[in-house]
Amino acid sequence: MKRIVWFMHVSLDGFVTDANGSMEWIKADAEMFDYAGAQTERSDTALYARKTYELMEGYWPTAADKPNASKHDIEHSSWYNQVNKYVISRSWAGKKLPTATLISDNVVEEIKKLRQGEGKDIVIFGSPSLGKLLTAENLVDDYWLFVNPIILGDGLPLFKDIKTKTFLKLASSITFASGVVALHYEAKR
């Protein structure tokens, strides 16, 4: 069975965006990209909520072609252009996507089917609404939380409204030079 791996940046006080919906406070650098890239290579499927997909689709398909593209831009662009992408969106029901498969109905059941398929892991980048839905359904196997050294005070909370207890085991942690701490937790089942 494929594992579902969720990557999420979060503030020290548990928010994924600030009060204005901005994520400009997130610290990301080459050291972190290399670390996260190792996990990305262990996946062949990506799940995105609609907003995250729009952000990704607006940058990654051609990121490697830009002048002065970084090593990360080149590597992640290549991965992004090859990976099987699924977009979870009820508001886009019936829409045709040129680079992804849309899932609008029976979301949990469809993702369970994806998990049963052959291949590598399934990864979620950001997409807090999707991550929360799958957490509530006990479908996330690995949480990679990148705790940024900032207190926002307000914003979109990471785990608000989740009513299900999820027991976790710390698998690893690393502190980057930027001050970001990556915490990798595995769901205990």
| Structure confidence by residue, pLDDT tens digits, 116-154 | 999 999 999 999 999 999 999 999 999 999 999 999 999
Counting Cα atoms < 13 Å in the Cβ hemisphere of 30 gives 4
Strand-pair partners of 103: 88
> Which pLDDT value is given to residue 161?
85
> Average per-residue pLDDT in the chain?
94
Instruction: Tell me the pLDDT band of 155, cut-offs 50, 70 and 90.
Output: very high
Tell me the whole-structure pTM to 2 decimals. Answer: 0.92
Structural element, H or E, at residue 85: strand 84-88
Q: Domain spanning 4-187 has what CATH number? A: 3.40.430.10
Instruction: Tell me the pLDDT band of 163, cut-offs 50, 70 and 90.
Output: confident
Boundaries of every domain in the chain? 4-187
Among residues 95, 116, 118, 97, the alpha carbon closest in space to that of 105 is found at 95
